[in-house]
Structure 1
Amino acid sequence: MTISSAPYGNKNRPMVSVTVCTPGSNAASNCSTIDNVLLDTGSYGLRLYASVVPSTTLSTLTTQTQSSTSDTIAECAIFGSGYTWGTVRSADIKMSSEIAENVPIHIMTDSTLAESAPSDCQVSTALSTPALLGANGILGVGVRPQDCGSSCVSGSQSAAYYACGSSTCTATTEALASQVGNPVQYFTTDNNGVIVEISQVSDSGGSTASGTLVFGIDTETNNVLSGTSATVFTTDEYGDVTATFNGTTYTDNAFFDTGSNGLFFADSSISQSSSTWYTPSSTLGLSATVTGSNSSSASIGFNIANATTLFATGNYAFNDLGAYLSGSFDFGLPFFYGRHVYFGITGTSSAGGGSGPYVSYVSS
């Protein structure tokens, strides 16, 4: 994992490489490695732009269709910065020595899909190109096994899955096994979660930073949680916990998200730039209390520096970058520097974390 200026000069963007291959080939046929994929613990599933997948591979990734009508299955995915739209296809995925077979993935801006995104999908900006997203795709490895879950099985959901044919797209149900899924759960072993490990940077930032995405929890000698005395926060199905900051409690509305490039929370007493980045005259030492649904609690300290000053350094990796956000507390990438952060997938368990979903962390 690398945080640097690549590929589009964005700050605090952790990038990994993912290899995709013909489904059912044990990741051995028509494989292509896609670099500069954003690591996102706040979402679930692999999403790649069609334009970054070589045609020799893309043409072998089976497009999902509705069995009763043969309509193409498409998906809308909405993020804080905008929305994506494209087909659902099957692929084998290889990361390091781990292989996940026949995984439903999202191919964004797929030219084989003639229909435009439905109006209920079009929230904020259309992230229709890698440049607009700032990455060639998104690798979602949060605590959910699928991106929609049971709600899309029991009934069609707005801004989720659609059956597209005859120039129209209609919201449709989607079986769990067909939903875009967290690739980690498809591994033969080391499939109960991930650990995000990122080296610390100085308070003025670093031109680059490096880290590791470790697969599995308590399954190998290098992914041990048991015995670390780390606090384990059981989360809701989305990976959310409760945070209290400055007298305000965000019940089940705080989360740990590598896909967010700052610490986002509400504090009107801190000066802001025109783009809501915090710009205090001197670095502030703050803290928030985090509580899991299992009542485990811990105080998490963090710093907020002047964003204008940080950006002027020309660096790209910052552990003290924050911005104003009301309604939730987002422990974005600055939280991860100098820590090992564990994400236990729902429906799995580990010796140190118990039953997922959970989040835990220890200092490096």
Structure 2
Amino acid sequence: MRTLQVGLNWIGLPRQVTESRLRPHIVPRLSCWHTASALQPVIAEAPALTRATHGGTPAQKNECDAASTRCGRRPMACTRSAISPRKRAPRARPLEFRRALAIVVLAVQVACGGGGAQDGTATVQPRLASDTRPPIAVGLAPASNVLPIHLDHGPRGEAFNVPFVSVTICVPGTHECQTIDHVVLDTGSSGLRIAASALRKGLALPPVTITGDAAGADVPVGQCMQFASGHTWGSVRRANVQLGGQQGEALAIQVFDDFTGPYATAPAACSSSVALSRVLDANGILGVGLRRHDCGGSCEGETPLPIYFGCVEGGCTATALARSAQVANPVAALAAHNNGVSIQMPEVPLGGARSITGVLVLGIATATNNQLGAARVFAPDDAGFLRATYKGATYLSFLDTGTNSVRFPDPELPECGSLYCPDQPTPLSISVTAAEGQPQTIDFTLESPASLRVGTVGARIGGGGPATPHVNFGLPFFFGRTVHVAIAGAPTQAGEGPYWAF
């Protein structure tokens, strides 16, 4: 999940990019969140989508009937489409519509055994209760620098291909702590962000403040951080952050959706996008990307970017903020194993898996469990990008566990919404080049999300459409690999970061 900030030259993505990141493309189970009424505007704009009675087994029909009673109406997952998801959506439709259409079609395919055939006949997939696929996990001995990574359906049951870790935060100088689960592991951003709703009442994290008026009163600091799928607005506070058995002291973190006191009204800088919490099925984001801080020098000086704000009861005003007070990459603040991370994910077979567990290992070449080995180093350019060549065209590229699919432009692949839905598993190759060095070919196989079984938590999916301006190696790229992320300026066995190595 790469942050978007105009003028922050290491990012470079334009603000108008509206690609969905962390959005639940696949609905893993029946829920009232995906009712027909919620998606009625989409259906009204898509005459090709027609309702039909459920075409699954009697047991599945009973499940849908029960969901109808629970939700007060029949969930969209219990209808089926008369159009094949393998047919390309008309390109004239706006991206936002195609994105919503993907949710409708995939809900039909995955959640209740709906049909995908062009003639409207149903192809019933096995239910979760009969899923005998074994769990898939990386075998690594527990250690103080190891955190498990779990893929599941998230707190609300809407997540897919999203890696979650648990993080413990404490009030500095006390033993008042709370462990937060379902925090997204994100190599595309830096800093810890926790949803206000996930914090228990009484955990009084002190606010980060700046000197305000002439009287020298302390003014609390708020933050508006833009991501590709929306923004996070809330307070900036201090917390001790524990990752596994390692701890960073008094780090600045963001508590988003914190509308208490002076943070009650988000500034105009946050009005151009939706709140990320509307599409993020998680309790927070752990940004372990290439940077030490989420803004750095662009938020210092006389003309800072509108990211940090001094907040009083009357509103919030953009302000400069020293790096020592900015939201920081927690890994860089640890006492040990602080030069980066190693992400190890198991190989995921075609058809996906119902249980996937990987590991986040703190540090690079700081212990026997995080050695570089034969991994090749890819240093980005000054803007934080690699170069990727696909079918003769070259694009900016990066590695991002916070994106749940591999995103790249290909006008020849069939689309279902913002995802690609090939008729059969399709082998593809992309050549990647660092700022300096020889290209390396990355081979991967793409499968259609329409073919996935109920209960699947992760699979090798991709998307983007012909207008995608970059190659984003999202979470499926990490399956079956160990990927190292070295923090800028941190010394490692292969030289100073920033770099990726795999």
- Is TM > 0.5 for Structure 1 vs Structure 2? yes
In structure 2, the residue matched to 1:18 is 167
Residues 262-298 of structure 1, C-alpha deviations (whole Å, 9 max, x = no match): 001110111101x221011122111111111132431
8 Å contact kept, 1:287–1:300: yes
Q: 2:457 aligns with which of 316, 319, 326?
A: 316
Letter paired with 1:232:
V
2:406 matched to 1:263?
Answer: yes
What residue is the counterpart of 1:299 in the other structure? 441
What is the identity, as a one-letter code, of the residue corresponding to 1:261? Answer: N
2:42 — aligned with what? none
Q: What is the CA–CA distance in structure 1 between the aligned matches of 2:498 and 2:461, rounded to whole Å?
A: 28
Q: Which runs of 4+ in 1 moved over 3 A?
A: 155-159, 236-239, 320-323
Query: What is the CA–CA distance in structure 1 between the aligned matches of 2:461 and 2:418, rounded to whole Å?
Result: 15
How far does the alpha carbon of each residue in 1:240-270 deviate from its partner, in whole angstroms, 9 at most, with x for none? 21111122111xx211101000001110111
Secondary structure of 1:184's counterpart equals: helix
Q: Distance in 2 between matches of 1:35 and 1:4?
A: 12
What per-residue deviation string (whole Å, max 9, x for no partner) do you get for residues 143-184 of structure 1?
100000111112444441111124222111111111100000
Larger strand fraction of residues:
1
- Which residue number corresponds to residue 230 of structure 1? 375
Note the aligned Cα RMSD (angstroms).
1.6
Q: Does 1:355 align with 2:492?
A: no
SS of the residue 1:350 aligns to: coil
Larger radius of gyration: 2
What is the CA deviation profile of residues 60-102 of structure 1, one whole-angstrom value per residue up to 9, with x for unaligned ones? x110112133222110111111111001000001111100001
**Aligned residue for 2:337?**
190
Q: Is the 8 A contact 2:485 2:501 kept in 1?
A: yes
Aligned to 1:47: 193
Secondary structure of 1:264's match? strand
1:164 aligns with 2:307: no
C-alpha distance 128-203 of structure 1, shift in aligned 2 (>3 A) = closer
Find the partner of 1:121 among 249, 270, 275. 270
Q: Cα gap change, 1:230/1:271 in structure 2, threshold over 3 Å: closer, same or farther? A: same
Shift of 1:6: 2.8
Q: CA deviation at 1:122?
A: 2.6
Partner-residue secondary structure (3-state), 1:335: helix
Question: Match for residue 245 of structure 2?
Answer: 97
Counterpart amino acid of residue 126 in structure 1: A
Range 294-303 or range 112-121, more displaced: 112-121
Secondary structure at 2:202 match in 1: helix
TM-score (norm 2): 0.67
Q: Following the alignment from structure 1 to structure 2, what is the Cα–Cα distance between the partners of residues 236 and 3?
A: 31
Per the alignment, in what secondary structure is the counterpart of residue 254 of structure 2? strand
- Show the counterpart of 2:55: none
Using the size of structure 1 for normalisation, the TM-score is 0.91
Q: Distance in 1 between matches of 2:289 and 2:384?
A: 7
Task: Look up the match of 1:334.
Answer: 476
1:280 and 2:422 correspond:
yes
Q: Secondary structure at the match of 2:459?
A: coil
Q: 264-273 or 165-174, which moves further after superposition?
A: 165-174
Separation of aligned partners in 1, 2:165 and 2:489: 26
Residue 209 of structure 2 corresponds to residue 65 of structure 1: yes
Q: What SS does the corresponding residue of 2:210 show, helix, strand or coil?
A: coil
CA gap 1:158/1:120 in 2 versus in 1, 3 angstroms: farther
Identity %: 38
1:35 paired with 2:35, answer no
Residues 143 and 357, structure 1, Cα contact 8 Å, conserved in 2: yes
Question: What is the CA-CA distance between 1:307 and the residue it aligns to?
Answer: 2.0
Q: 3-state DSSP class of the match of 1:302?
A: strand
**Whole-angstrom distance in 2 between the partners of 1:308 and 1:159:** 41
Higher helix fraction (1 or 2): 2
SS at match of 1:9: coil
CA pair 155-39 structure 1, distance change in 2 beyond 3 A: farther
What SS does structure 1 have at the residue aligned with 2:238? strand
In structure 2, the CA distance between the partners of 1:181 and 1:201, relative to structure 1 (3 Å rule), is same
Change (3 A) 1:146 1:30: same
The gaps in structure 2 that reach 5 residues or longer are 1-148
Deviates more, 1:87-96 or 1:296-305: 296-305
**Alpha-carbon distance in structure 2 between the residues aligned to 1:171 and 1:247:** 44
Q: Please say if 1:205 is aligned against 2:352.
A: yes
